Amino acid sequence: MNTSSLDLESFKADLDILDRYQAFSGELLRMALLGVAGVGFLITSPAVKGEGGKDPLVSLEGGGTKSLLCASLMSLGCCVASCLLHRFFSTESMSFHLSLLRRAEKSAAPSEEKDIMKLVRAGRDKNFRRSTRTIYLAAGSLFLGAVLLAAAFILAIKPWSHWGTS
């Protein structure tokens, strides 16, 4: 085995953890895109238009429904952006981490190499922090977007008092 190559077992656990976090980020991304599709459904639904001469079941006209839909879209869009940023920062931090492991594997590193290792460690740690912040932001904005979308759906349904009358 070449002395400059790392043993796969020495960083396999790190790569597994990275994969799990990115899979979680991917699930958040899918749910946010599903929420965006829910907004599209609410806007284009035949129940909103009242097709066939029927009275529409859903109305976007009252109670701040449009504002809630816009806020929901912004929050879900923030979630999508945060998920993509998380994937970038987590991959970048792992790149720094593997570079640091390669450099640490070299024996008797001169002082110049130690300075480079400090810079690489600082870059890794900065990207780890960014990755953590973006995944928290993604989860929070998904939660907020889902709550706003649910409120918009509730307000869009015609008032309960109209259901019993013809």
Q: The dihedral of CA 35, 36, 37, 41: what is its sign?
A: positive
Q: What is the pLDDT of residue 54?
A: 59
Length of the chain: 166
pLDDT averaged over the chain?
Answer: 82
Q: State the pLDDT confidence band at 63, using cuts at 50, 70 and 90.
A: low
Phi, psi of 157 (to 5 degrees): -70, 135
Per-domain residue ranges of the chain: 10-159
pLDDT value, residue 40: 86
What's the rounded Cα separation, in Å, for the pair 139 and 131? 12
pLDDT tens for 80-98 read 999 999 999 999 999 888 8
Which residues in 106-129 are b (16+ Cβ under 10 Å) and which e? eeeeeeeeeeebeebbebbeebbe
Mean of the pLDDT values across residues 104-119?
74
Query: Which of 7-11, 13-17, 57-61, 98-102 is predicted most confidently?
Result: 13-17
Identify the band that residue 135 occupies on the pLDDT scale cut at 50, 70 and 90: very high
